[in-house]
Structure 1
Amino acid sequence: MGLRISDIVATLILNTIHSAYTADHILSCDAHVLDQCTGANQFCNQTAHECQCIKGFIWVGDECVDPDVDPSEPHSAAAAVIAIFTIALVICGLYLVIRKYNLVEYARQKINARRNNDVMYEDVMIGQDDPPLSP
């Protein structure tokens, strides 16, 4: 019994998955080299040779954060400012387009044309019993 291609492919896939999973969780560092732990509020533990959070901080994802601070707060002000400016830009754009193409006057003309109650000859005379056009 020799190795089949499917066995080799399965082994390669499993090794790749295993190495990708362990690479995310191993944060090795050397205490003698500066700036090994690139995240804020982290330090290199000399005994474990891994990056750890400073006292009072906890791991969230790949960085250390203060548990008392809401991480969504800094973005809420930026989101409000962006939303306000976007709405203002849309309103200004609509105003300029309406003014340029005189859309208000166009709409008034269309409404008045529909409301006009002038009775036309074609509206009254239906069918083949039209009178002759000659006098």
Structure 2
Amino acid sequence: MKTFQTLAAAAVITAAAFAGAPAANAATTSELGCPRPRVANVDTGYVTMVGSFNLKAGPYAGGRCAVITRLAKGTVLYVHCWVLNSYRTPWAYARVKGTGTHGWMSVDNVRYGKNLNFLKCPGSEL
């Protein structure tokens, strides 16, 4: 017997396939609890990693959201926008300099660079 969570994940994956979205962007069963806020490139600044940390698929630490990649200390991220997660922790949605890789990084893991506007993502509360 299939669980509701399994059926919901299948529906999301099927809907993404019909929408022409790449399979890598489809939610898996383990990611259903990972919020995916709407994003927009509304900030002009950057941040620099203060250590080696995971770039995440959503604005949460731990296992709630999938790891996209691990970033090394000194890596520059071009910030697109900001949100507060349900723990009231600010997270930036950003692109890794020199790549097409995008994801979420907690402000606890970065040093602020120039031109940050701290502009919120569409519909966020920050």
TM-score between the two structures when normalised by the length of structure 2: 0.19
Relative to its length, the structure with more helix (as a share) is 1
TM-score between the two structures when normalised by the length of structure 1: 0.18
Structure with the greater relative contact order (CA < 8 A, sep ≥ 6): 1 or 2?
2
- Which structure has the greater CA radius of gyration? 1
